[in-house]
Amino acid sequence: MIGLEQVRNRLKILEARTAPLKAEIDQLALVAEPDAQQIARFNELAAGLQVMQGRYLECEAWIEMLEKYPGVSRPDQLPTKGNTPAYVPVTEKAPAEQVERNREASHQRDARELVELLPAAGAE
Amino acid sequence: MADAAVLERAKRYIFAGRNYERIDLRGYDLRGVNFTCSNFRGADLSGSDLRGALFIGADLSRACLQGCDAAGADFSGADLTGAYLRGLNLTEAVCWHTCFKGALCKQVKFHGADLTGADIARAEMLGARFDGAIVTGLRNVDRAIFRWFLSPLGGKPSYDPFPGAVVLTGSLTGDESFRENAGLINGLGYS
């Protein structure tokens, strides 16, 4: 199981790794007339930072989820009606007209997608 | 009428230490019957009325108690390892040091039950509720399953949260027996 502390540590590591790259790219951005090597390095750093930004967002999503649903490790955290929302099953059926309308719309959408996939008649 | 009289008389007997392995007792009225230290391994008691029954030290491993009403029953020291307890009502039941290891306890009502020292390791507790239960010394709480996390893209349910997951805190099929993860297995083309 992935723990909250592990993800937070990963986030710290990512921040530590990103800082020097950011400093370097900021320096390169200040160069008035960069040579080919500097441009290549700038592009490389920009791509790398983009990837790291994705990982950063991923870590934040993990932290959000783990904070929202903490593990049950103690008896006082056991689910009760108070702390856990009740699941209400959908028992009412949708009206027949709506079902028919939805089905028709679905068929039309499928047909349109199929038409788009097919090659145009006479097209070279 | 005669059956009712027989049943009333039977309730006064003590069925302690008996062997009821793999017995079919579905839908019976077993209120207040004393089954202390009896063997119910693999028995089917689904839908039975077990209110106030005594299963002290009984072996109910792999037994089926689906939809039973066991309010106020005594399962102290009973072994319910791998038992199928979906929709079981254990309101106000006494479960001192009861072993629920690997039991399927979906939608079980533990309201006001005394679970002192009970063991719920690997128990599937999806939809189980513990309102007012005495949970002092309840063992292996961190090893039981209380939630399912489903991926919107399909696949097997995860017991740990992950980004984008849909959380399930109760059984979708309620008290009905159904393989909830059917069709969620990758590689079969259903997901």
Interface residue B164 vs chain A (CB under 8 A) = yes
A-chain CB neighbours of B174 within 8 Å are 89
Contact B80, B63 (CB under 8 A): yes
From start to end of chain B, where are the E strands?
A: 148-150, 166-168
Q: Which two tokens stand for residue A43?
A: 């592009």
Residue B191 scores a pLDDT above 90: no
Contact B141, A77 (CB under 8 A): yes
Please state, in angstroms and rounded to a whole number, the distance separating the CA atoms of residues A46 and B117: 57
Tens digit of pLDDT at every position of chain A (124 positions): 788 899 999 999 999 999 999 999 999 999 989 999 999 999 999 999 999 999 999 999 999 999 999 889 999 999 998 888 776 655 667 778 888 888 899 899 888 888 888 876 665 5
**Which pLDDT score is estimated for B182?**
60
**Which pLDDT score is estimated for A88?**
62
Contact B9, B29 (CB under 8 A): no
Determine which of A56, A67, A69 to mutate to test the interface with B (most B C-beta atoms within 10 Å): A69
Please state, in angstroms and rounded to a whole number, the distance separating the CA atoms of residues B2 and A123: 87
Chain A residues contacting B, CB < 8 Å?
Answer: 1-2, 58, 61-62, 64-66, 68-69, 71-82, 84-87, 89
The pairing of strands B166-168 and B148-150 is: antiparallel
> CB distance A87–B168 less than 8 Å?
yes
Please state, in angstroms and rounded to a whole number, the distance separating the CA atoms of residues A84 and B64: 27
* pTM > 0.80: no
Contact A14, A55 (CB under 8 A): yes
